[in-house]
Structure 1
Amino acid sequence: MDHLKCNRLTCRKALTEKAVVVFDCANELFNASRLCPACETSLTEPDDVVVCSLHPSNDYKTSVLSGLNPAIILEICSRAMSFWQYQVQQEHSFQQAVLRNINEKNAQLQKQLENVVREGEQLRTVRDWNAS
């Protein structure tokens, strides 16, 4: 998975510049419109959120991590990896649901095709019978 995707099932657009992450006490950091940066859907839930840049500058990364104990940096990395793992699992679940829906639709269409073929064969049999 190369990109994060919006978790809203009706959206699923790739997040390219910003992501919204649930986080306590961060309302002041979120824009007043409370819109998803990917699909611009209104976010009406009372959850507090933070808008995160998906491509922070090297200066920003250095300023955030400089001076931190390596154990803290590893904890940050572990949380980030857990977040990505969750996103990959979400994408996998979504793709499985899409596949199930496609397989169900395919089975329905296959039955319809079989019915049309059977009706066509019956019509041909009746036509051949009437012709003889």
Structure 2
Amino acid sequence: MDHPLLCNNLKCRTELTERALVTTCSHNFCLPCARQFGFVEANGAILPGTGRHHICPACRADLPGQDDAVITHLNPSDDYKTSILSGLSPSTVMECAGRALSFWAYQATQEMHFQRHLYQTMVDKYSALAAELERRTTEANSTISSLQSKLQTTISEYEFLQQKNEDLARMHKDKCRKLLQTQEAHDKEKRKIELGQLQQAASAAVDSDLQNTGRIPPQIVDGALQDRGPRKVQNHPGGLSSGHGYESIASMNSSLPRATHRGHGGWDKQSLVQPRGSKYHQCLKLTILILNSTR
């Protein structure tokens, strides 16, 4: 199979099948390119070279002669083949055949050089792309390894912080529980202290009223205070406290007249000195109520 001819315009490279412009410098062009370069007219006729020379677009060689660029049929008929070389001597025919073969060999060689150059260019580009691919693959693997290491470190830090957070939450819960217990104990102690202060204030008020308003049977006082024992009273300007600061209500009122008890019948109401007002009764009731509630 013969090698196909191609237009020697590197921007065209069209396969030639029917007609082509052939030059004496062994180049051929398609008719559109020949018309573009000014070799043929719009109707396909060869332009005469009057006043100027044609220049080969491929090798930039001068084509001054009229037969230096002609249009030839690449697929001639049998009659054309019979008449084209008829009447020529054998030496002329052989010379024409030799030059035609040289033209064909030149086109084949040029095509081989072109394909070799194209192949080398593609190999170089492939090598460059392969090197670039290898470089980017190495960078990507390095980046992946670095990111995996960072991810592992981040996971470890997350687990550590999560464990620390759980420990802190547990410690906070214990602290809150202890704080609640301490607050409850504080409130209990505070209520106890306030109750003691209230008892002391009530007792002081009762003692003061007893000294100012009248007498009270020692049996009632001793019966109400028998579980309390001695108490410490506040030092009053009137000198109510004893030497050590402790005394009972009965001892404080020992100088007052005593009521006589008549067996199961109760106290002798005539022997009791009646208080002057209801404040005494209120303080006495409050004191006895507080003492009974604290037992």
State the TM-score bracket (shorter-chain normalisation): 0.7 to 0.9
Q: Calculate percent identity across the aligned residue pairs.
A: 36
1:106 paired residue number: 126
Shift of 1:67: 2.2
**Paired residues, number:** 121
1:83 paired residue number: 103
Residues 19 and 109 (structure 1 numbering): CA distance in 2 closer, same or farther, change over 3 Å? same
Letter in 1 for 2:14: K
Residues 38 and 16 (structure 1 numbering): CA distance in 2 closer, same or farther, change over 3 Å? farther
2:202 paired residue number: none
1:46 paired residue number: 54
Shift of 1:40: 6.7
Q: Which whole-Å CA distance do the structure 2 matches of 1:53 and 1:72 have between them?
A: 20
Letter in 2 for 1:4: L
Shift of 1:2: 2.2
Structure 1: which 4+ aligned runs deviate by more than 4 Å?
Answer: 38-41
Letter in 2 for 1:82: S
- When structure 1 is superposed on structure 2, of 80-89 and 66-75 the one drifting more is 66-75
Contiguous gaps of at least 5 residues in structure 1: 24-34
Partner secondary structure for residue 130 of structure 2: helix
Q: Which whole-Å CA distance do the structure 2 matches of 1:12 and 1:109 have between them?
A: 27
Tell me if structure 1 keeps the 8 A contact 2:14–2:30: no
Tell me if structure 1 keeps the 8 A contact 2:3–2:108: no
For residues 95-130 of structure 1, give each alpha carbon's deviation from its aligned partner in whole angstroms, at most 9, with x where no partner exists: 011111101110121122112201111111111211
Q: Output the TM-score relative to the length of structure 2.
A: 0.38
1:20 aligns with 2:21: yes
Residues 54 and 75 (structure 1 numbering): CA distance in 2 closer, same or farther, change over 3 Å? same
1:93 paired residue number: 113
Shift of 1:22: 1.8
- When structure 1 is superposed on structure 2, of 120-129 and 83-92 the one drifting more is 120-129
**Which of these two proteins has the greater Rg computed from alpha carbons?**
2
